[in-house]
Structure formats: C-alpha cells, structure tokens
C-alpha cells in the first residue's frame, strides 16, 4: 500500500486567484478521499474552452481562488470507503459529469444525465460534505466541475472516474474526457448519419471537429463545415469536412444556402457553437421528411429558440445532447478502445504540448485561436 494512503499530500497546483489573471503554481495540500471518493495522481491534462470561460468569469458568478481543469488522465492513488469499481494503480479519466448508477437516469438506457453528479459549474466543494479537499495555509481552495485537474493530485467523486485500458496512452486519451466525446458522441450516438448521407457541422472548434470526425467514421459522404472563420477549413479537412460555407460570404440565411446546395437540405446537422442563430439555422437546414438536427452548444441562459411550427409538422426533428450521450463509467472505456483500434483518430486534435510550469502558455494559445487542444504535462 502506498505510504500516502490516508495522508494529506502536498503537491503543486495552478491556482486562479482572480478572474483573468495568470495562474500561479503553488504548493497546496490535498486531503485524502472520503467515502465514495477517489484521489488521482494527474499525469496529463488539457485546456478546454470551458476552463477559459470560467477563468475569465464573464457572465457567471465568480468563485476564487479556484483550481481549474477538467480534461485529464491519471492513476488512482487511493480510494475512499465504499468505492468498488476502482483500485489504486488503475488508469483512469476524471469526467465533469458522472454516473452514480442508482438514479432513474443512470438506470435508463436513454439518458446519461445523472441526478446526483450532473455538471454543476457553481459548486466549488465536494458533494459529500460541502467541503474542499484543497487548502493552502489552512484556507480552502475551490474545486471546479468536481475535477480540478490543474493539480498534481486531485480528489473526485468515484462516480466521475472512468477506469480505462492501462495500455492506452494517457497523454492522448486525456482529451476524451470532455470535448472530443461531446462532439463525436453527438454525431454517432444521436445524429446517427447513414453511410453516404449528408451532414452540416456548425462551428469548427474542437467540439465541431469531433462531430465531423464522428461523421467521417459513420461514412457520411458530404460533410459541410459552417464557420465564420474561413481559415479553419484547411484544418477541418483532416477531420473529414469536404465542403465549407462561411455565412459572411452570403446575403441570404445560411439555412437557405445549405438547402440550395443539397437539393432541399442535409440529412443531419450538428450545432456546436452555442449561438442561438446557429441553432435555428441547423434545424431549418435539414431536409423535410427525415432531417434531424442535434444541438450541442450551450446558449446564453436568456436566449429563446424560435422557428415556425410547420418545420416540425414537415417531419424535421430537433434533439439536444449532453456529453454526446455517453455514460462516463459505462461508455468511456469503449471510446478509448475505439482510439486504440484506430477507428477514432485522437492524435490530430492535439496541436500543442507544454510542461506544467508553462500552463499559462496553453491559455495564450487558446485565446489566440492557435490550438485545438494543448496537452499539459503535469509530472515534469
């Protein structure tokens, strides 16, 4: 048994002391896991736009000091009472949402929205006791999304940890714990394009490219990328996008442009921007009779979706999805196997890699639009 089991661990963490200011790497204390929790040694983490959004604290309640990070891979260091699906030494991915296995959602084959462990961006403490497992000089440091992977060690609810194949490269599989699965699953699990079909992908950031990858794997023949930044098209070709439309190049609604391109509309559409106009366009650009649009992006809380009811009556379908409809503990190991077999090409999502000491470079790359995913090597 490890000498650290049951003990407080002192390690480095990148702390956000205030909104928008560079993270500061400092020593923190990480408490041992309590019942139903797991302490992980984080080996690799990557930067997601969600981290940046809450670090900037624009449009939400600020909560600082905080340890961000939620896309990661690591090794189980110790487990709390009652944890049975994990053991010290297991290779694992922490996930921002979870699977308690007991609620009506977890027991349903049609949902992955666990009642207990569903994403909560405002909570900065553990569910069990409302306390943080991080502290510095006796003062608590807040958690983020129940994961806080910008720390060499972190404590996570066991229901938010997926055990994976120990042969899987942790420096690559870490990106599967958030954005890649969100986009890929939206296509393969929800849109389900048929071989030879057409699909429109709105937004060619990391999630949109993952949705395009899902379309490529599914055998869609026309994968149309829609983005306001034309320079993204060249990169998108690597993910199967073979046509590109920039709405700024047209003087008519983009849904009309796509309908004209495709003889009435695409078979499927996946929206990955969070723009309410893009959501409406995605729905209205699918073909009547069988077209299906899937919404992935998170809109402003005050936005409202508006379309003519006849669009539904003409047998277009609109669906939403959360984390690609994957149950983390049940489904994520199989996604990792898709990567291991070469069916899902993960490496091309990774554009940069930096040591933990240079974590702020990852923020710079993302803010400048230079990276899809930047891997942060935690153990230097």
Catalytic residue flag (residue 118): yes
Which of these is catalytic: 85, 118, 123, 377? Answer: 118
Catalytic residue flag (residue 373): yes
Which of these is catalytic: 70, 133, 287, 316? Answer: 70
Which of these is catalytic: 12, 77, 105, 114? Answer: 114
Catalytic residue flag (residue 272): no
Catalytic residue flag (residue 374): no
* Residue closest to 177 by CA, chosen among 62, 63, 74: 74
Region of 169 please: left (phi>0), alpha (psi -120 to 50) or beta: beta
What span, in angstroms and rounded, lies between the C-alpha atoms of 303 and 278? 12
Catalytic residue flag (residue 48): yes
Catalytic residue flag (residue 100): yes
Catalytic residue flag (residue 234): no
Q: Containing H/E element for 10?
A: strand 9-15
Cβ 94 vs Cβ 177: under 8 Å:
yes
Catalytic residue flag (residue 329): no
What span, in angstroms and rounded, lies between the C-alpha atoms of 18 and 142? 12
Give Cα separations from 51 to 69, 148, 317, 332 (angstroms): 6, 10, 32, 21
Own/partner long-range contacts of 17-21 (Cβ < 8 Å, ≥24 apart): 17/64, 17/65, 18/64, 18/65, 19/55, 19/56, 19/57, 19/62, 19/64, 20/55, 20/56, 20/57
Catalytic residue flag (residue 50): yes
Which of these is catalytic: 91, 97, 147, 178? Answer: 178
* Residue closest to 163 by CA, chosen among 332, 323, 326: 332
Which of these is catalytic: 49, 85, 123, 377? Answer: 49
Q: Containing H/E element for 141?
A: strand 139-141
Which of these is catalytic: 12, 39, 48, 284? Answer: 48
The sign of the CA dihedral 92, 94, 97, 100 is: positive
Catalytic residue flag (residue 232): no
Catalytic residue flag (residue 160): no
Which of these is catalytic: 11, 103, 121, 377? Answer: 103
* Residue closest to 294 by CA, chosen among 216, 191, 225: 191
Which of these is catalytic: 99, 100, 157, 316? Answer: 100
What span, in angstroms and rounded, lies between the C-alpha atoms of 269 and 208? 11
Which of these is catalytic: 106, 174, 181, 272? Answer: 106
Catalytic residue flag (residue 351): no
Which of these is catalytic: 12, 37, 39, 50? Answer: 50
**Rg from Cα positions in the chain:** 21
DSSP letter for 266, please: B
Catalytic residues: 48-50, 70-71, 100, 103, 106, 114, 118, 178, 373
């Amino acid at each position: 048994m490890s000498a650290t089991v049951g003990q407080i661990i002192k390690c480095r963490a990148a702390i956000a002391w205030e909104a928008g200011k560079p993270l500061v790497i400092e020593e923190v204390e990480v408490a041992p896991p309590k019942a139903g929790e797991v302490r992980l040694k984080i080996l690799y983490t990557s930067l997601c736009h969600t981290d940046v959004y809450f670090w900037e604290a624009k449009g939400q309640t600020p909560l600082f000091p905080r340890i961000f990070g939620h896309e990661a891979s690591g090794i189980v260091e110790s487990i709390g009472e009652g944890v049975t699906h994990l053991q010290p030494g297991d290779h694992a991915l922490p996930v921002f949402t979870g699977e308690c296995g007991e609620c009506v959602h977890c027991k349903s084959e049609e949902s992955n929205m666990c009642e207990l462990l569903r994403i909560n961006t405002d909570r900065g403490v553990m569910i069990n006791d409302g306390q943080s497992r991080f502290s510095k000089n006796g003062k608590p440091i807040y958690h983020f999304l129940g994961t806080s992977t910008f720390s060499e060690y972190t404590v996570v609810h066991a229901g938010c940890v997926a055990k994976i194949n120990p042969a899987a490269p942790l420096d690559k599989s870490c990106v599967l714990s958030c954005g890649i699965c969100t986009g890929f699953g939206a296509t393969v699990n929800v849109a389900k394009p048929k071989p030879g079909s057409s699909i429109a992908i709105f937004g060619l950031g990391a999630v949109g490219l993952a949705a395009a990858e899902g379309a490529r794997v599914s055998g869609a023949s026309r994968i149309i990328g829609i983005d306001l930044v034309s320079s993204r098209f060249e990169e998108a070709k690597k993910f199967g996008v073979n046509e590109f439309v920039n709405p700024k190049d047209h003087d008519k609604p983009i849904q009309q442009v796509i309908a004209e391109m495709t003889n009435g509309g695409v078979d499927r559409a996946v929206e990955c921007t969070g723009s309410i106009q893009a959501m409406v366009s995605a729905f209205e650009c699918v073909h009547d009779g069988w077209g299906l649009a899937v919404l992935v992006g998170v809109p402003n809380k005050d936005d409202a979706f508006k379309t003519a009811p006849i669009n539904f009556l003409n047998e277009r379908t609109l669906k939403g999805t959360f984390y690609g409809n994957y149950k983390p503990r049940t489904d994520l190991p199989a996604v990792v196997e898709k990567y291991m077999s070469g069916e899902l090409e993960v490496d091309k999502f990774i554009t940069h890699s930096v040591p933990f000491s240079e974590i702020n470079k990852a923020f710079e790359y993302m803010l400048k639009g230079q990276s899809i995913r930047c891997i942060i090597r935690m153990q230097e």
